[in-house]
Amino acid sequence: MSYLPRTVDLELDELMPGAPAIALDGPKGVGKTGTAERRSAEVWIMDDPAQRQRLEADFGLDGIATQGTVLIDEWQRLPQVWDSVRRSVDRGAVPGRFLLTGSATPVSAAGTHSGAARILSLRMRPMGLHERGMVEPSVSLSRLLAGTADQVGGQSQMSLSDYGKAIVGSGFPGALDLAPRLRRAFLDAYLARVIDRDLPDLGREVRRPETLRRWLRAYAAASSTTTAYSRLLDSTTAGDGEQPSKTATIAYREHLSQLFLLDPVPGWLPSRSPMSQLRQAPKHQLADPALAARLLGLGEASLLAPRGAAMFGPLFESLVTLGVRVMAQAAEATVSHLRTKAGEREVDLIVEADDGRVLAIEVKLAASVEDSDVRHLLWLRDRMPEQVVDLVVVTTGTHAYRRSDGVAVVPLALLGA
């Protein structure tokens, strides 16, 4: 499969000419190595024991002779290399000298320097729909956030079933072109590796793998909701009444977050106009909605059938959230959600720029948009008119347009960076 450009490439294009060292962080299989290798003159793979031993004996990195960019892949396998790179930066490493990729922060790296002001960190997630080469986006999130997207337009041929296919199809590059059965085996093996190999590598032995898998299944069922963790724990009880302890599930969350497998959306804390009545509970999201669908045993057809219909909406929001987070990062913005404590007001996604500009997004698994679908968006604009620069409803429709009240209606396939 040929390389599909990633939104993070735009960030690397901008940052590498000025930054001596950049770390790409994210879950295994999201394409960090493939993206970094294309920019590197020399590659050191820390999964290779021989290469790891050579760098372990070369703290000053004196053995690296290449003058171009050096990639150190899976750096967490040799945590000391982080400090080696940091010291090289202190000694005057040139811009674009180092790229580091990592899929976890190991326990053994706790004593390393944070790298603040020396090593920039970029999060890399699975591919959003706009990165998969299926449709050419016509509406720019960065322009919406800048308040300069007065006109929105474009047409998409994607149907509801196509979005179901995109959910189960996965944003992991290695799964994109796989036949359905092989893709399911890929996702099953991915989840099994997390439990059997990756968690033990972080120092967390999983004594009851099936209990952890049940907890992950409960988390997947809570996708795009703020369900309390105590309720997730209740949902983990097996038929025999066996349930993991609260201490164990807290450890699950901590370690799965270290592996970037859990990717919750935080509650919004407005930077300019505090709103004390907002809830801060996160919205639950896995790194890729395909993992959630696989944990729940849902395929493309079952999402459209009664058995899986209840999860189609939440998993579509997961797909939207994945893409918006990728785009927002490139626009130097954060993504959160809004929900008042009483639950009478909520907005699915809040994209906030560092200067306080706000783009509010609602997600709807439908082609048409009614007045009732935009009432919370309009409420937020009335509440914060100087900060809210645009309002959007992301749909499964075919056309992008603006309503008379100024709300942009954009099919997900047409939304790009």
Please report the domains of the chain, with CATH numbers, ordered by start residue: 7-123 (3.40.50.300), 129-416 (no CATH)
Q: Which residues contact 18 (CB under 8 A, 6 or more apart)?
A: 95
Is the CA virtual torsion 136, 291, 35, 257 positive or negative?
positive
pLDDT of residue 108: 46
Beta strands at 346-353 and 333-339: parallel, antiparallel or unpaired:
antiparallel
Q: Which amino acid is at 153?
A: G
357-412: per-residue pLDDT in tens?
A: 999 999 999 999 999 999 999 999 999 999 999 999 999 999 999 999 999 999 99
- 203-218 pLDDT per residue, tens: 777 878 888 898 999 9
At 134-150, the pLDDT tens digits run: 889 999 999 999 999 98
Give residue-wise pLDDT tens across range 163-179.
999 999 999 999 999 99
In this predicted structure, what is the pLDDT of residue 238? 63
Q: Is the pLDDT at 115 greater than 80, yes or no?
A: no
Q: Which pLDDT band holds residue 239 (cuts at 50, 70, 90)?
A: low
Question: Which of 236, 199, 201, 190 minimizes the C-alpha distance to 217?
Answer: 236
Q: Which pLDDT value is given to residue 113?
A: 47
Report d(CA 221, CA 305) in Å as an integer: 17
What is the reported pLDDT for 117? Answer: 63
- Cα–Cα distance measured from residue 69 to residue 85, given in angstroms and rounded to the nearest whole number: 12
Residue range 349-358: mean pLDDT, rounded: 96
* pLDDT tens, position by position, 42-64: 999 999 999 999 999 999 998 88
**pLDDT attached to residue 106:** 55
359: which strand partners?
351, 390
Backbone φ and ψ for 298, nearest 5 degrees, come out as -105, 130
Residue 308, pLDDT above cutoff 80:
yes
Give the chain's length: 417
Nearest to 285 by CA among 230, 231, 323: 323
Q: Which amino acid belongs to residue 10?
A: L
pLDDT interval class at 241 (50, 70, 90): low
The burial class, CB within 10 Å (0-12 / 13-18 / 19+), for 157 is exposed
Structure-block tokens of residue 123: 């999060």
Kindly report, residue by residue over 245-298, the tens digit of the pLDDT: 788 788 888 999 999 999 999 999 887 766 767 878 999 999 999 999 999 999
Tens of pLDDT along 16-46? 999 999 999 999 999 999 999 999 999 999 9
Greatest mean pLDDT range, 54-58, 182-186, 338-342: 182-186
Is the model more confident about 110 or about 292? 292
Q: Is the pLDDT of residue 75 over 50?
A: yes
Report for 96-105, 241-250, 321-330: range of highest mean pLDDT: 321-330
> Has residue 9 got a pLDDT over 50?
yes
| pLDDT higher at 270 or 131 | 131
| pLDDT, mean over the chain | 92
Assess whether pLDDT exceeds 90 at residue 305: yes
- Could you tell me if 3 and 34 are in contact, meaning their C-beta atoms sit under 8 angstroms apart? yes
Contact 298, 276 (CB under 8 A): no
- Above 80 in pLDDT, residue 337? yes
Other CB atoms within 10 Å distance of the CB of residue 52: 17
Secondary structure of the chain in the HEC alphabet? CCCCCCHHHHHHHHHCCCCCEEEEECCCCCCHHHHHHCCCCEEEECCCHHHHHHHHCCCCCCCCCCCCCEEEECHHHCCHHHHHHHHHHHCCCCCCCEEEEECCCCHHHCCCCCCCCCEEEEECCCCCHHHCCCCCCCEEHHHHHHCCCCCCCCECCCCHHHHHHHHHHCCCHHHCCCCHHHHHHHHHHHHHHHHHHHHHHCCCCCCCHHHHHHHHHHHHHCCCCCCCHHHHHHHCCCCCCCCCCHHHHHHHHHHHHHCCCECCECECCCCCCCCCCECCCCECCECCHHHHHHHCCCCHHHHHCHHHHHHHHHHHHHHHHHHHHHHHHHCCEEEEEEEECCCCCEEEEEEEECCCCEEEEEECCCCCCCHHHCHHHHHHHHHCCCCEEEEEEEECCCECEECCCCCEEEEHHHEEC
Nearest alpha-carbon partner for 93 in 113, 121, 64 = 64
Q: Is the pLDDT of residue 110 over 60?
A: no
Q: Does 232 have pLDDT greater than 90?
A: no
